[in-house]
Structure 1
């Protein structure tokens, strides 16, 4: 257990491009698998034995404190620190330094969904007597990320930018263990990137920077597609969380939702409160926020339907985002990353993506 370790979570950046389409004044924290996304990370931190966490916030900072309070309901003590201007990852860590009391600090990027064993990461850090330890994951296509090569013992050798010919499939997973003295040495009051400034400087100075490499579940939720798939993985139990408001399965249905008996809802779909799904509708691997309506015979696949939005009879919505209170008229067809802004109303047959045959 990690009672002597504190956590820092960097949250509140503008994050996923889904946010402008779906944020409601009444529901400011983006729900993922039925609860605010951050609740999943907080539940894993608590399960690992950490008792105190500091949230470094900026964008819509007040909503986090309103949503989680002092953390007692989660079994945590939460403290909030707001950035007055964007400080980057390193600057954000330094900005919370005066609220820390532990010598060993777990740091998380708040827009990453991960299933690694946090106790194992800290154990690697302590066994190696590291100054900083990075959680590294192996990905099928490291060209899309910067990569982090290590030697045979796991010591970090370099931080490399994206390249068409990466020397390793290991990437930075957005979870770190810092010794407090390293945090105090980060320049204060200005933007700092840990990837481009802090970590390379530590390597150049001969500091002990280690990698903890595993094949745990990992997904960056910076795009709507990743958010939708991450939510589905949480609902199905593929991504671990102690905050899921129900047993894992093919769908998660919150109170007040009404599903027609012959509606097919599966693939890790999260169905919000007071949602209505009509007869013969098919909803696969999607996020339906509170009050959404999916009409009879409609098809919704790998999509987000915002608060109070309506998808009318026979409409098709695939790999798309429908903003709060928008209306998709009967037999419209949206595909391939389409975005419908809040309060927009598309008339019946008004949009079609596939050719008539």
Structure 2
């Protein structure tokens, strides 16, 4: 069995960050979201992986390489424009070579892995299997309508009146029958080949399409609040590990990971927190559910429930919360009195806030 990982797309909901960075490489607990998916694929026993890339293909290639650090053999498949998920299957046909495969959206965050999905597909004899989860607002998702034994009898894309609360997660298993389906469908109103249309074609032509429920935790990381929530979930699982330098004036409580080369001076760290390699925390408070990236500097500041990416600095800010700070960003003090800030800042920016 093979895997097809989708790492293209423009990440419009995370702009301006994604103007200069692939959305799949935004880190959660200091590890890119894409890495969690690749590790889940490997843990399911799949080693041959094709990665669909778009405008940020060079960055994805640099981050993943040939896949050997994950125990994978990776082939890159460029997509010249984001023409739909079914179009990804269409252009990957030569790589897939008639084998069954898992299709995994690279910006999905799925705790619990996909081994159960792969096992159920291999033993079920299905032509397609779609990972689903219950949601409270199905009108914002692709939705599956199920039959009495878990078979999928219909799909809706962001319906005004959903026929179920079963949202399509973004992980699928397919037999080679999907290739006929993607060739048979026409582009949607938005000019894309929709995977939901291809799956509906399979259903309409008598192929076996089954559901599989998420066994762990799932989030689409396309929005700021979802990234912060995924960061929180991963940090809840970490074990304390100090491989940096902490002076005697600092207070460390809870699950705190301090990576090699990091320095903590005269500061309070209340976990769960990850402090990246060669970062510096000086005369500051870093609160729960915060990831500080490598080589960052936090000085005379307070930060909590936030993600700060590599090589950024936060100076003299009284309270920074619920924020995603890009790479090479400087956040510094300005005049004024507000105490809490919520920032979403693109790479290579400079921000002054009232403190």
- CA offset at residue 330 of structure 1? 6.1
> Cα gap change, 1:73/1:161 in structure 2, threshold over 3 Å: closer, same or farther?
closer
The residue correspondences of 1:40-189 to structure 2 (distance < 5 A) are 40-101=36-97, 103-163=99-159, 166-187=162-183
Secondary structure of residue in 2 paired with 1:187: helix
Single out whichever of 220-229 and 272-281 deviates more from structure 2.
272-281
Alpha-carbon spacing, 1:158–1:250, altered in 2? closer, same or farther (3 Å)? farther
Give 5+ residue unaligned stretches, structure 1. Answer: 239-245, 353-357
Q: How many residues align?
A: 333
**Equivalent in the alignment of 2:313:** 310
What is the CA deviation profile of residues 113-157 of structure 1, one whole-angstrom value per residue up to 9, with x for unaligned ones? Answer: 113452321333244321110011123443432321211211002
Paired residue for 1:355?
Answer: none
In the other structure, the counterpart of 1:283 is 287
Q: Distance in 2 between matches of 1:133 and 1:71?
A: 26
**Aligned match of 2:247:** none
Q: CA deviation at 1:62?
A: 1.7
Determine the structure 2 residue equivalent to 1:292.
296
Q: How far off its partner does 1:89 sit? A: 0.8
Structure-2 separation of matches of 1:331 and 1:271: 29
Counterpart of 2:153 in 1: which secondary structure? coil
Indicate how the Cα distance of structure 1 residues 213 and 259 shifts in structure 2: closer, same or farther if over 3 A, else same.
same
Q: Which residue of 2 aligns with 1:241?
A: none
Cα distance in 2 between the residues matched to 1:224 and 1:168: 27
1:311 and 1:123 map into 2 onto residues whose CA distance is 47
Q: Provide the rounded CA distance (Å) in 2 between the counterparts of 1:118 and 1:62.
A: 27
In structure 2, how many angstroms separate the alpha carbons of the residues matched to 1:216 and 1:331? 46
User: Is 1:252 aligned with 2:252?
Assistant: no
Q: Which residue of 2 aligns with 1:242?
A: none
Looking at structure 2, the residues matched to 101 and 334 of structure 1 have their Cα atoms a distance apart, in angstroms, of 57
Matching of residue 272 in structure 1 with residue 273 in structure 2: no
- TM-score, length-normalised on structure 1? 0.82
Mapped contact 2:8–2:79 kept (Cα < 8 A)? no
Contact between 1:138 and 1:215, CA under 8 Å: does it hold in 2? no
**Structure 2 Cα separation of the partners of residues 24 and 105 of structure 1:** 31
Contact kept, 8 Å, 1:318 with 1:334, in 2: the verdict is no
Tell me what 1:319 maps to: 322
Partner residue, 1:200: 200
- State the match for 2:354 in structure 1: 351
Contact 1:104–1:177 (8 Å) recurs in 2: yes
Deviation per CA, 1:26-70, whole angstroms, max 9, x where unpaired?
A: xx9433322332121111211111121110111210222222222
> In the aligned structure 1, how far is the partner of 2:138 from the partner of 2:172?
19
1:304-324, CA deviations, whole angstroms, 9 ceiling, x for partnerless residues? 323333222342112223343
Cα distance in 2 between the residues matched to 1:208 and 1:102: 17
Distance 2:213 2:135 in 1: 11
Q: Residue in 1 aligned with 2:250?
A: none
In structure 1, the partner of 2:212 is 212
Q: 1:185, CA displacement in angstroms? A: 3.8
Residues 36 and 24 of structure 1, relative CA distance in 2, 3 Å threshold: same
